[in-house]
Amino acid sequence: MSHFERLQACPNCFRRHDVSIYISGQKITCTCGIRFEVVRTETKTGADKPVSTKAGENKPALPGLKASSLKSGIDTRVVPSTPPDIPGYALREVVGRGGMGEVWRAEQISLKRTVAVKLLPSDFESAPEFVSRFEKEASALALLSHPNIVQVVDRGIAGGRYYIVMEYVSGPSLREKMSKGRLALKEAIQLISGIARAVDYMHSQGVIHRDLKPENILSDAMGNLKVADFGLAGIQRGPQEFALTATAVAMGSMNYMAPEQRKDAKRVDNRADIYALGVIFYEMLTGELPVGCFKLPSERERYFPKGLDEVFSQVLQTNPEARPARAMWIADVLETLLQQPAQVKRGQPRKRRHGRFPWWLLAALLGGLLAYVGFASSKREDKTEVKLPSNAREFVKKTGEIQNVNLPKLFEFPVS
What is the arithmetic mean of pLDDT over 369-395?
62
Spatial separation of the C-alpha atoms in residues 312 and 278, rounded to whole Å: 6
CA angle (272 as vertex; 132, 116 as ends), nearest 5: 45
- At residue 293 the predicted structure's pLDDT band, cuts being 50, 70 and 90, is confident
The lowest-confidence range among 23-37, 152-166, 390-404 is: 390-404
pLDDT value for 130: 84
Tell me what pLDDT residue 159 has. Answer: 85
87, 95 Cβ separation under 8 angstroms: no
Domains of the chain by residue range: 1-78, 89-167, 174-346
Average pLDDT score, the chain? 76
- Letter for the amino acid at 215? E
Which residues are marked as active site?
Answer: 211
The residue-averaged pLDDT of 189-210 equals: 95
Give the HSE-up count for residue 71: Cα atoms under 13 Å, Cβ half-sphere: 7
Work out the number of other CB atoms within 10 angstroms of the CB of residue 128.
10
d(CA 292, CA 187): 27
**pTM, entire model:** 0.65
What class has domain 174-346? mainly alpha
- Cβ count near 1 (within 10 Å): 5
* CA 319/CA 259 separation, integer angstroms: 8
Task: Find the mean pLDDT for residues 81-102.
Answer: 83
- Give the C-alpha separation, 79 to 97, whole Å: 10
> Residue 71's pLDDT is what?
33
> What percent of the residues of the chain are helix, what percent strand, and what percent coil, each to the nearest 5?
35, 15, 45
For the segment 219-245, what is each residue's pLDDT rounded down to a tens digit? 998 889 999 988 888 887 655 445 544
261 alpha carbon, distance to own chain's centre? 19
How confident is the model over 299-322, as a mean pLDDT? 91
Lowest mean pLDDT among 162-176, 341-355, 360-374, 376-390: 341-355
Please provide the CATH number assigned to the domain covering 89-167. 3.30.200.20
Give the integer Cα–Cα distance in Å for 35 and 28: 5
